[in-house]
Amino acid sequence: MLRLLAQLLAFVAAALLLAAPAAALAADTRFVFPGQAASATVDASAAAAAAEDTLLLDAADGRLDQSPLLEAALIAGGVAEPRRLETYRGRFEQWIAELQVSGRVVGTEREKARAIHEYLHAHALVGGFRETSSTLDEAFEQGRFNCISSTILFRCLAERFGLTAYGVETPGHAYAIVQTPRERVVVQTTCRNWFAAAGDAEVERSLLRQTIGATAAATSESGPSPRRLTDVGLLAVVYYNRGVDLLEAGRHDAAVAANQAALRLDAANGAARANLLAAVNNWSLELSRNGDFPQALRLLETGLQYAPDYGLFHENLVALHQQRLARAVSADEARPQAQALNACYARWNRELAERGQESEAAGVARRAESDPFLRILD
């Protein structure tokens, strides 16, 4: 499924802070952060980096012109070796052949969609639903899947049998739609027995809750209207989910690159925007814990150039300067650091005031006035 945003860590009093609403980002999602290579990719290997670069260039116009969705999704999930790609293409073609021989993909578009969906769950997606199983290689190797990997596989199979299918997303979830001249057929690709519900809304809700969990199902049902995803948008979700995994693993530079890739593919992916900021924030936290205050400061300053209204960057810059001042051994050392702290408060206050958040701006001004670290400037 679409993975939830990792919880953000903040400097202040070693407390955990909740994420602020996703901020508006600069248009260039290839923005290079300190410590990140100019041609940063998610995978460090030369083969993976080259495949990823080719994919992102191909998808820059919002379409996949050089690679079919199946291969593109494998690459987005980290599969770049030609032998592995060929193996998975072969297995997919075997599924196509088995479906053709079965003679089951016949009748109306709904009946064809049902045959494809039920084949997937009987012969391919046999390892069960798992929230973290976003990449297609897991489906091919272990039969494990989540909403995005199952939607992509269904979309690829449906296309080969002449169906018009696409993915849609709701908060924390994705599924497929088959468009027919008469109706839109919803296919909850995570639910093995979806078509057995025969359109009964209560049974459908029960199936979804059983598969992805009551909380995720409720979030999906109560959120905004579903958003249609192009094939490129589906790839963006794969990259976003990889970014969540990388952030949780502490691989902050790769997490930043994964979410940048997601945003290059789908600039409207708000979850990727928020998770990119989380990755930058937590990367700076790790640097400060390791004593690399200059690099942590540079990362946060660059983050503010990228998202100037992101409150945690302001908050953590103030806290980081306070930490440095607490370690100062002389007034000569402390004074320039206090000036930098004062400048952080002033910029934060100005940013809030310019966005019409007068109450919050006044709160920042009061914090600056009472900050004991600034008394050295009196």
Give the dihedral sign, CA 179/185/188/193.
negative
Q: Token pair 């290689």 is at which residue?
A: 137
pLDDT at 26 over 50: no
Percent of the chain with pLDDT over 90: 64
> Is residue 184 domain-resident?
yes
223 has a pLDDT exceeding 50: yes
Per the structure block, which two tokens stand in for 249? 């693993």
Q: Looking at the domain assignment, is residue 139 inside a domain?
A: yes
Contact 237, 269 (CB under 8 A): yes
Interatomic CA distance for residues 28 and 260, integer angstroms: 9
Q: How confident is the model at residue 196 (pLDDT cuts 50, 70, 90)?
A: confident
Q: Provide the pLDDT for residue 197.
A: 80
Average pLDDT over residues 223-239: 90
Alpha-carbon distance of 95 to 102, in angstroms, equals 10
33-76 residue pLDDT tens: 776 654 455 665 777 888 899 999 999 999 999 989 999 999 99
* Residue 217, pLDDT score: 63
What secondary structure letter does DSSP report for 44? -
Would you say residue 106 lies in a domain?
Answer: yes
- What pLDDT is recorded for position 209? 78
Q: What is the CATH number of the domain that holds 206?
A: 3.10.620
Average pLDDT estimate for 125-135: 92
pLDDT for res 73: 97
Question: Pairing relation of β-strands 227-229 and 164-170?
Answer: antiparallel
**Which residues is 186 bridged to in the sheet?**
177
Model confidence pLDDT, tens digit, residues 293-304: 999 999 999 999
Asked whether residue 257 is domain-assigned, the answer is no
Examine residue 284 and state whether it is found in any structural domain, yes or no.
no
Mean pLDDT value of segment 355-373: 95
Please state which of the ranges 74-78, 198-202, 306-310, 315-319 shows the lowest mean pLDDT. 198-202
245 and 280 in contact (C-beta within 8 Å)?
no
Q: Is residue 79 part of a domain?
A: yes
Per the domain annotation, does 147 fall within a domain? yes
Q: What is the pLDDT of residue 298?
A: 92
Q: Which residues form the domain of 99?
A: 64-229
* Domain count of the fold of the chain: 1
Q: Is residue 45 part of a domain?
A: no
